[in-house]
Amino acid sequence: MNENGLRDLNEEIRPKPASGLDAVKAVVVVLSGKGGVGKSTVAANLAAGLAMAGRRTGLLDVDVHGPSIPRLLKLTGSRPGMDDGFMVPVDWHWNLGVMSVGFLLPGPDDAVIWRGPAKAGVIQQMAEKVAWGERDVLVVDCPPGTGDEPLSVLQIFGDKARAVIVTSPQDVALDDVRRSITFCRQLSTPVIGVVENLSGFACPSCGAVHDIFSAGGGERLAAEAGVPFLGRIPIDPEVARSGDDGDVFLAVAGQSPSAVAFKAVIASVEKALGLPAAPADKG
């Protein structure tokens, strides 16, 4: 055997470095074509809803320039532990494990000033060097758009990744969603479906939903693109209040129109992932 053959053999038998993703069954990447459509709120409620139902769930926030998850879950100032070279997720309610770029910054007002390769490296470390353990689902709050960071996210998670794309009803947001769907298809990432967020206003007194922007654009776009439509989530003052207070919306909202809409989205995601009947609804 020549030297090159010996080197190849050594590469084959050398143990591969352990990845924190090894025992994660499925990854749901929450994308948006642009910022400001409520992507992080949808990601947080999706993860919390799955955990409330007894799913072993993780939530990874790699929205590098706008990590919102610490504030949404009242975890600002938290720091991950370390165990044998792996970061340990911060434990939230219902055994939801949370990891965020925001946990690595000195303070909530500090900006991330990194070039593309550095951001890609941090995203990879936060995916693979976190001790996720056995998880049924890992929900990923991805940076908006179709640039370097979303590209890194989908490439890192590879075949495990499925996408949920969040939009608002306005045409300018819908144009960006078309690009997001094309982006996923070019990377061979299956699209679970489209969520139309901020779709109408849910009256806090009577519960009726009134359209204040155009409505139904997300559903029409999904039909045109041949991807499932997961539902409309109306604007609800309780969503904003719970986010500001760090209370996950599903846990405090009962049967409001927005809560019912979130639960329907979660059920659609569970079905798309082929998850068995939930072991328990802890909500």
| Mean pLDDT score across all residues of the chain | 85
Asked, for residue 203, whether it belongs to a domain, the answer is yes
| Over residues 129-141, mean pLDDT | 97
Token digits of residue 62: 């790699």
The annotation status of 37 as a binding-site residue, yes or no, is yes
The annotation status of 133 as a binding-site residue, yes or no, is no
pLDDT above 80: residue 149: yes
The annotation status of 40 as a binding-site residue, yes or no, is yes
Asked, for residue 9, whether it belongs to a domain, the answer is no
Asked, for residue 13, whether it belongs to a domain, the answer is no
For the chain, how many structural domains are there in total?
Answer: 1
The annotation status of 74 as a binding-site residue, yes or no, is no
Query: 86-88 and 57-61 as β-strands: parallel, antiparallel, unpaired?
Result: unpaired
Asked, for residue 281, whether it belongs to a domain, the answer is no
pLDDT tens by residue, 44-60: 999 999 999 999 999 99
Where in the sequence is the domain holding 145, given as residue range(s)?
A: 20-273
The annotation status of 147 as a binding-site residue, yes or no, is no
| Over residues 240-251, mean pLDDT | 72
Q: What sign does the dihedral 198-203-216-48 (CA atoms) show? A: positive
pLDDT tens by residue, 203-230: 666 666 666 666 677 888 899 999 999 9
What is the pTM (predicted TM-score) of this model?
Answer: 0.87
Asked, for residue 113, whether it belongs to a domain, the answer is yes
The annotation status of 34 as a binding-site residue, yes or no, is yes
> Residue 224 carries which DSSP code?
H
**pLDDT computed for residue 43 by the predictor:** 96
Per-residue confidence at 9, pLDDT binned at 50, 70, 90? very low
**pLDDT computed for residue 10 by the predictor:** 45
Asked, for residue 202, whether it belongs to a domain, the answer is yes
| Residue 252 exposed, middle or buried by CB count within 10 Å (0-12, 13-18, 19+) | middle
CATH code: domain of residue 188: 3.40.50.300
Asked, for residue 283, whether it belongs to a domain, the answer is no
pLDDT tens by residue, 59-110: 999 998 889 999 999 999 999 999 999 999 999 999 999 999 999 887 777 7
| Over residues 195-202, mean pLDDT | 78
Of residues 43, 72, 50, 263, the one with CA closest to residue 164: 43
Token digits of residue 31: 């994308």
pLDDT above 70: residue 118: yes
